[in-house]
Each structure stands twice: as C-alpha cells, then as structure tokens.
Structure 1
Amino acid sequence: MSQNYKFFNHKECEYFPCHKTNDPDNFNCLFCYCPLYALKDKCGGNFRYTEKGIKDCTNCTLPHQRDNYDYIIGKFKDIINITKKDD
C-alpha cells in the first residue's frame, strides 16, 4: 500500500533545507513548521533552551525524517490537551 502522503520533499523552496542534512533526498518538508514545538520539553526532539528561555530547534530534524510521520501524528492528542480551555 502506498503511503506517499507521509513524505514531501520541496527542493525548490528557498529555505531548503532548513536544517543541516547529509541526505537531502530524504528530507521531509511535510511538517515545515513543527507541530510539536508547543509541547515544550515533551516533543521528543533535539532542542535546547536559550538563555532567554526560548526553545531553539536548530539541531532538531525529528519532523524532517522520513520515518517520523507516525510519531508526530501520535503526539496530536498531547497537542490537543495543551490547547483545551481551562474550566
């Protein structure tokens, strides 16, 4: 069964690649903006916090790895939970 919806590579993009990579052919642009950013330290990626407390994902390629689609989709329940209105 084809699963082409899990991968998109856009080499013509003026920002491609947005992170250093040794394998541009397998760089997934589907999650150009990482949906896991809002999960803070629970995203599972290689991030750091700057001295000013800003999350820096410069060294993270988790959303750009071909095989991580299912991992990211699996985190959507956590994203929904942080956006729920407090009672």
Structure 2
Amino acid sequence: MNYKFFSNTKCEYFPCHKTNDPENFNCLFCYCPLYALKDKCGGNFRYSEKGIKDCTNCTLPHIRKNYDYIINKFKDIVEITKLDPK
C-alpha cells in the first residue's frame, strides 16, 4: 500500500523529528492534519507558556502504521470545522 507511506529523504528538514528509524519515517503527513484537534489528537504534545501547541516531541503522523489512525480522525476534524447553527 504505497499510498500510506512516503519518505522524502532529500528534504532539507528530513527527518523533522528525532527518530531511531529513519527508513520508516513517514513524510506523507508533513504538516499534521490533527493539529487542530487540540488535546484530542492523540499525539505527544505540550502547550507552551503562551498557550501554543508544541508538537516537537510528537512523531505520531510520521510512524508508518499510524496512517489508518489519522484517516479515522478526519471525522473529528469535520466536526470542529462545522458552522455553529444559529
């Protein structure tokens, strides 16, 4: 299933997070689609003193086996992007 994995080893930022397994570092979700889910993303993040989400220590979107987890979270992303009924 090639559509679930892409590794851009020529990227100047590769790998963008510390890893012991660069051969399996998935770049498909270079910018994490789960960022907007705040504390419901499931990743290893923290909030800075200014309240900014810091994902420096999170590799959730870069682990090959997590493709299905991320895709299944899109229903949650849809929910937070809906207009509030007035």
Asked if these proteins are the same fold (TM beyond 0.5), I'd say yes
1:6-21, aligned counterparts within 5 Å?
A: 6-21=4-19
1:21-32, aligned counterparts within 5 Å?
A: 21-32=19-30
Residue of structure 1 in register with 2:41 after alignment? 43
TM-score (norm 2): 0.98
Name stretches of at least 5 consecutive residues in structure 1 with no aligned partner: none
Deviation at 1:85, TM superposition (A): 0.7
TM-score (norm 1): 0.97
Whether 1:61 aligns to 2:63 is no
Name stretches of at least 5 consecutive residues in structure 2 with no aligned partner: none
Hey, what's the Cα distance between the residues in 1 that align with 2:2 and 2:66?
13
Runs of 4+ aligned residues of structure 1 deviating over 2 Å after TM superposition are none
Hey, what's the Cα distance between the residues in 1 that align with 2:18 and 2:8?
15
Which secondary structure does the structure 2 equivalent of 1:16 belong to?
coil
Hey, what's the Cα distance between the residues in 1 that align with 2:15 and 2:52?
22
Deviation at 1:58, TM superposition (A): 0.2
Hey, what's the Cα distance between the residues in 2 that align with 1:54 and 1:17?
22
Deviation at 1:40, TM superposition (A): 0.1
CA RMSD of aligned residues (A): 0.4
Deviation at 1:50, TM superposition (A): 0.4
